[in-house]
Structure 1
Amino acid sequence: MTFDKPVDAVRWVREVQMESRRRRHGLMLRAALNYCRVLRDGNDLLGDGVNIAARLQEHAPVGGVILTEAVREWIVDDPELETRPLGSLALRKMKKTVTAYELVTDGRPTIIVASEQTSLPSIAVMPFFSGDGQDSDGYFASGIVEDIISRLSRLNDLTVISRSSTLAFANQPANPQSLAEVLGVRYLITGVLRQAGPQYRLSAELLDTQNGQVLASLRRDFVDADTFAVQDEIVEAALSHLLPGLRAAERRRSLRKAPASFTAYDSYLRALDLIGSLEPGPFREARIHLQSAMDGDPTFSPPFAWAARWHSLNVGQGWSGDPAGEAERAAVLAQQAIRLDDMDARALATFGHVQAFMFGDFDTALTYLDRARQANPSSSTAWLLSSVTLSSLGRAEEGIAAAERALRLSPFDPRLFQYYVFLGIVHYDAGDYQSAVKWLSMGLAENPRYTSGLRALAVAQEALGEHAAASAAAGRLLELEPGFSLALYRGAHRLYSDPEKADLFFERLQRAGVPE
């Protein structure tokens, strides 16, 4: 396309990208603008200037706009048109570099445009350095980076910079603080990938650019058996080791802030910090923070998804005075989160979990749990909540595999007790009562207040004939839930699609000493 004036071109392309972003599911474009002389041949435009624009757009993120210096000179004094430098970008097949700028407020979908109320943490994954510079290693390293960015971009509580925005910094030593300023991020993931024969070695770090601190690091060796399998393993290892460091840093940052300066995101982080204790006081306070987050930014889906999970846990812990009403509330909140972001894996999985265990609609549950795993295959929550539903349908081996994958994806989760307890439950459903007791005991050692673990432990021990141990577990359950009874629990939960399995569970629980 051609324009008479550079400023008209910039305004037009910005409007196109912004409208595309508002529509969310529309056609997404890359754009580059250059101001130059051209040769006209009928309807064709020819010349190096056209080629420069064509090559520059390859560096643009989807939904983004890149400008040459010649275009920027025309808009530099326009306060409505802001740019940020990208440095010198190499142009494919042209043997030259061009000083380029990115137009700010573009429409790239990989960057969640965070409102002031939300202030999501921002992260960039830098091109991994491949040790000996061989093309095969370079492609492999690029594939790993692209996959990490793709999976990070599915997490709706992060702002992720697109890969094309970081390509200009490939194989260049750079100061993290300078990179952060250019890219507009707080966190960086950097890495080196080397190959020696059939062996790969990956070293990766998560950096806080504000103070240069290494928040987490990973060093792993891999054997070159199947390239794609190795790539998946590297990506999974990187995310499971580096993401907890980022989230821990964000929680520490939030805890240092005064309540008067909370954003919706800070309130959301405070809630997550309080939910895991399962102590009644902090747990109730978590709901207040989640409500503050929802009120502060009604377009931010994670607090709605977590509020749904909060109500589910409140019923599960026996603290609800209205289990049926809270089940409905959990479903409504999860649906609201899905309406805000239909790729929110936690919302999809929570809705599926509620449908299974509070309404007994296992078919709908599986549909939403499948959607959750497809939306984000790296979501440990999606795999964890899927595990018990699969197991409840008699697919215990699939349930065990799903729970094991969830633990592998989140080995440092602050709510690790849930992973252990769910592993215990699916092993119980598979008839492996010894393994069930082992995992359930580990979960309760992490958090002795998790009543789902105590119920399952009492039943598994009763199945093993360990009546004294089962009675002790039931006694601890009744201390935490003095009003617990089998009738109330039956009314609020649907444990299995097979009524006979449910009857056996309740029979064992009764033998352990739980009142009818």
Structure 2
Amino acid sequence: MAELPGLSLIGAASATAPAPDGSVTARRSLAVLAMLAVAEGQPVPRELIASTIWSEVDDARARASLRQTLSELRAVSATFTDALDVTRQAVALRADGVTCDLWRLMRAAERADVAGLRLIPANLGPQFLYGYEDLGESFADWLAETRDVIVNRLVSTLMRGFDDPDATTDQRRGLAEAALRLNPLNERAARVAMQALADDGDVAQALNVYARLYALMDEELGMEPSDDTQDLAVAIKQSQRATTDAARPPARVLGSYGQPVLGVLPMATFGNDIETRQLGEMFVEDIVCSLAACRELPTLSNATSRHLADAPDPVHHLRDQHGVTYALRSTLRRDARSGRCRVTTQLVGSESGLAIWGQTFDTSDAELFGVQAEIAGKVVSALVPHIHAAEFQAVESFRASDLNAYQMLLRARHLTYALNRDSLGEARTLLGDCAATHPGFAPAHVALAEVHSIQIGQNWSSDPATDTAAIKAALGEALRLNPRDARAMAMMGHNVGIYERAYPRAKATVEQAVDALPNDAETLIWSTPVLAFTDDHDTAIRNAEKAIALSPEDPMMFRFEHFASIAHFTAGRYEEAAQYGLASMERNPRYTSNLRATMGALARLDRIDEIAPLRDLHHEITPDFRIRDFISGQAFNSSEKRAAFGKLLAKAGLPD
């Protein structure tokens, strides 16, 4: 089939013919193609096109300009000639004559194509023919109306898909999330997303959808969600308690470690631009990572506290739910034009609400992330008096110039959390682009290594050796860029142990990482499997439980609980291993590494009747799985232990 010309109307408009032909560059020519594309193959009267795009001249000259433009389009390439149906009265763009990004989004909505739905942007309206508002008054009016029509048409199509009885849970979730991006106040879309997430076992994310809707409706409309929406949220919460309270191991809060516990609240930002808000997010993530280096001051993870931006009383929430004794508040006021910033911080006691310390910093974008190191040092000095601020070496991971890279990182994290093949592939591509365009941004390399690791663990890798090499290369680059990156160090140790079975080196590496960042949930959890497989069972269990306490609302909690299950399994504590494994499955039933470990624990306990749902789900996700292909690569530190685990999987009914 001959290659078709491509038309892009979202963002920077362009039209390109297949090589070796050229492209369309004239803005009015692109405006003509846009008007035709919106009609989706239907003829558009020539008078309408001419009067809309050339409204500043008389009718005769407008018609002549349109004739000239059509002639120029056909001169670019024979493919444009084939794509245009031109008569004396009207012009049409044949649906089979071009590819068009707007049409792809419409088809994705009609077909509930999960991968395509993820491409629907939140700002679709303003992005359609971005920058073409100055093409004339009539065209500006047409453009404003058309943007609304496109968004409304797309939302209507998405919502029709909600009622399709044949739609899968993933499709309903994709449809609802796309509708919410286009209109965050769409209550029905929120309910569909909440239900789909709950059905998929992701209760925490379902309740996050509700929390965002509640905060947005209160802020913009001064009202609460409808009774239907609130009732659904209550039902999901009750279901969560009913299904998980009995199965999940008792949670250990940070306060039980006998140390002061700090929670860093989301930064309040003043300014309408998204750049300022995301600089605030980067700032808080950086300061939490720095504070995690203080052994005497456990600090709740950013993944747990970041959703509290709109909570009515976040300090008391952290105190009551997570044992936090102190909270750090901060605000960022920024002039986007000059890049000048004012950061205000306040350290308060969670019981009294009284300020213990506070300071204002006047700085610039370029110096902003140097301020976080000073703040971290002063917080440590205030709460752990024997440590002076000057002695505390804060870790600075980000710079203001990393903002674009950070935005890509956040998007990739979201795709990774979905844990399906398509979204993981998108995350890998996005992180590869991020690493290529921002080669000095170490977190992108760490996240890319994590994606490759998940591909192998899920049995989705077509070439495990290549993926293993990619993990090592990505983490090596991250550590070259930042040799103090304890998370990269812990992940490197994990992968050296799991894939190379170089146990002494792996254990030394994860121990060095934990020593550098002893209160960081990610560092602790990545250390757990290596410690478990090298028979340091007590430390493995302790690190896993502390990681869970540091980040109890982490989007990747299913992995935390899986690693805790491994720690208990290798210690011979099979009841606890099964308990953690089943809890992990409740959160994310598609995590195949956990399904296998949990089936092994249940088989060891002779709880055979409980295995069938896990086995069926495992087969659905990895139909080609065979024990003989899998077991030789496992991380147990002896062939006897690997063989014993293989026998447990066979007892569970997995194919040999």
TM-score, normalised via structure 1 length: 0.53
Query: What's 1:457 paired with?
Result: 598
Query: What's 1:290 paired with?
Result: 431
- Could you tell me whether the CA contact under 8 Å between 2:293 and 2:516 is conserved in 1? no
Query: What's 1:320 paired with?
Result: 461
Alpha-carbon distance between aligned partners in 2 of 1:306 and 1:300, rounded to the nearest angstrom: 11
Alpha-carbon distance between aligned partners in 1 of 2:542 and 2:330, rounded to the nearest angstrom: 42
Q: 1:460 offset after TM fit, Å?
A: 0.5
Letter aligned with residue 461 of structure 1: L
The match for 2:537 among 377, 396, 412 is 396
Query: What's 1:379 paired with?
Result: 520
- Could you tell me whether the CA contact under 8 Å between 2:585 and 2:591 is conserved in 1? yes
The match for 2:486 among 330, 339, 345 is 345
Query: What's 1:360 paired with?
Result: 501
The match for 1:504 among 626, 632, 644 is 644
Letter aligned with residue 421 of structure 1: H
Alpha-carbon distance between aligned partners in 1 of 2:330 and 2:526, rounded to the nearest angstrom: 42
Secondary structure of 1:276's counterpart equals helix
After superposition, the C-alpha distances for 1:152-178 in whole angstroms (9 at most, x for unaligned) are: 9x99xxxxxxxxxxxxxxxxxx99556
The match for 1:273 among 405, 408, 414 is 414
The match for 2:608 among 467, 471, 483 is 467
Query: What's 1:191 paired with?
Result: 347
Query: What's 2:142 paired with?
Result: none
The 5 A counterparts of 1:93-492 are 121=281, 123=283, 176=331, 189-193=345-349, 231=384, 263-491=404-632
Query: Closer, same or farther in 2 for the Cα pair 1:190/1:450, shift >3 Å?
Result: same
- Could you tell me whether the CA contact under 8 Å between 1:123 and 1:189 is conserved in 2? no
- Could you tell me whether the CA contact under 8 Å between 1:359 and 1:494 is conserved in 2? no
- Could you tell me whether the CA contact under 8 Å between 2:294 and 2:519 is conserved in 1? no
Alpha-carbon distance between aligned partners in 1 of 2:280 and 2:351, rounded to the nearest angstrom: 36
- Could you tell me whether the CA contact under 8 Å between 1:383 and 1:405 is conserved in 2? yes
After superposition, the C-alpha distances for 1:387-435 in whole angstroms (9 at most, x for unaligned) are: 1111111121211001011112211211111111111221122222221
Equivalent pairs: percent with the same residue? 26
Query: What's 1:166 paired with?
Result: none
The 5 A counterparts of 1:63-74 are none
After superposition, the C-alpha distances for 1:59-113 in whole angstroms (9 at most, x for unaligned) are: xxxxxxxxxxxxxxxxxxxxxxxxxxxxxxxxxxxxxxxxxxxxxxxxxxxxxxx
After superposition, the C-alpha distances for 1:426-467 in whole angstroms (9 at most, x for unaligned) are: 112222222111111111111100011100110010011112
Query: Closer, same or farther in 2 for the Cα pair 1:178/1:328, shift >3 Å?
Result: closer
Alpha-carbon distance between aligned partners in 1 of 2:293 and 2:421, rounded to the nearest angstrom: 43
Secondary structure of 2:479's counterpart equals helix
Query: Closer, same or farther in 2 for the Cα pair 1:285/1:149, shift >3 Å?
Result: farther
Q: 1:195 offset after TM fit, Å?
A: 9.9
- Could you tell me whether the CA contact under 8 Å between 1:396 and 1:429 is conserved in 2? yes
- Could you tell me whether the CA contact under 8 Å between 2:294 and 2:517 is conserved in 1? no
Alpha-carbon distance between aligned partners in 2 of 1:145 and 1:184, rounded to the nearest angstrom: 28
Secondary structure of 1:299's counterpart equals coil
- Could you tell me whether the CA contact under 8 Å between 2:292 and 2:519 is conserved in 1? no
- Could you tell me whether the CA contact under 8 Å between 1:124 and 1:185 is conserved in 2? no
Alpha-carbon distance between aligned partners in 2 of 1:499 and 1:146, rounded to the nearest angstrom: 37
Query: Closer, same or farther in 2 for the Cα pair 1:195/1:412, shift >3 Å?
Result: closer
Secondary structure of 1:263's counterpart equals helix
Secondary structure of 2:419's counterpart equals coil
- Could you tell me whether the CA contact under 8 Å between 1:366 and 1:389 is conserved in 2? yes
Secondary structure of 1:291's counterpart equals helix
Letter aligned with residue 269 of structure 1: L
Query: What's 2:654 paired with?
Result: 514
**Pair 1:494 & 2:634 matched:** yes
Alpha-carbon distance between aligned partners in 1 of 2:530 and 2:330, rounded to the nearest angstrom: 48
- Could you tell me whether the CA contact under 8 Å between 1:264 and 1:292 is conserved in 2? no
Q: 1:477 offset after TM fit, Å?
A: 1.2
- Could you tell me whether the CA contact under 8 Å between 2:295 and 2:519 is conserved in 1? no
After superposition, the C-alpha distances for 1:234-263 in whole angstroms (9 at most, x for unaligned) are: xxxxxxxxxxxxxxxx9xxxxxxxxxx982
- Could you tell me whether the CA contact under 8 Å between 1:485 and 1:514 is conserved in 2? yes
Secondary structure of 2:346's counterpart equals strand
Alpha-carbon distance between aligned partners in 2 of 1:380 and 1:279, rounded to the nearest angstrom: 24
Query: Closer, same or farther in 2 for the Cα pair 1:477/1:228, shift >3 Å?
Result: farther
Q: 1:123 offset after TM fit, Å?
A: 3.6
Query: Closer, same or farther in 2 for the Cα pair 1:358/1:185, shift >3 Å?
Result: farther
Letter aligned with residue 293 of structure 1: C
Query: Closer, same or farther in 2 for the Cα pair 1:124/1:339, shift >3 Å?
Result: closer
After superposition, the C-alpha distances for 1:334-380 in whole angstroms (9 at most, x for unaligned) are: 11111111111221111111111111111121122122212322321
Which structure's residues are more often strand, by fraction?
1
- Could you tell me whether the CA contact under 8 Å between 1:305 and 1:337 is conserved in 2? yes
Letter aligned with residue 502 of structure 1: R
- Could you tell me whether the CA contact under 8 Å between 2:627 and 2:646 is conserved in 1? yes
Alpha-carbon distance between aligned partners in 1 of 2:356 and 2:621, rounded to the nearest angstrom: 46
Alpha-carbon distance between aligned partners in 2 of 1:202 and 1:390, rounded to the nearest angstrom: 41
- Could you tell me whether the CA contact under 8 Å between 1:393 and 1:498 is conserved in 2? no
Query: Closer, same or farther in 2 for the Cα pair 1:186/1:419, shift >3 Å?
Result: farther
Secondary structure of 2:347's counterpart equals strand
Secondary structure of 1:192's counterpart equals strand
Query: Closer, same or farther in 2 for the Cα pair 1:188/1:474, shift >3 Å?
Result: farther
Letter aligned with residue 345 of structure 1: A
Q: 1:190 offset after TM fit, Å?
A: 2.1
- Could you tell me whether the CA contact under 8 Å between 2:490 and 2:509 is conserved in 1? yes
Q: 1:328 offset after TM fit, Å?
A: 1.3
- Could you tell me whether the CA contact under 8 Å between 2:330 and 2:346 is conserved in 1? no
Query: Closer, same or farther in 2 for the Cα pair 1:274/1:191, shift >3 Å?
Result: same
Q: 1:500 offset after TM fit, Å?
A: 2.1
Secondary structure of 2:611's counterpart equals helix
Q: 1:188 offset after TM fit, Å?
A: 5.4
Letter aligned with residue 305 of structure 1: V
Rg comparison, structure with higher value:
2
Query: What's 1:62 paired with?
Result: none
Which structure's residues are more often helix, by fraction?
2
- Could you tell me whether the CA contact under 8 Å between 2:602 and 2:611 is conserved in 1? yes
Query: Closer, same or farther in 2 for the Cα pair 1:336/1:175, shift >3 Å?
Result: closer
Alpha-carbon distance between aligned partners in 2 of 1:175 and 1:507, rounded to the nearest angstrom: 55
Letter aligned with residue 414 of structure 1: P
Query: Closer, same or farther in 2 for the Cα pair 1:285/1:231, shift >3 Å?
Result: same
- Could you tell me whether the CA contact under 8 Å between 1:119 and 1:265 is conserved in 2? no
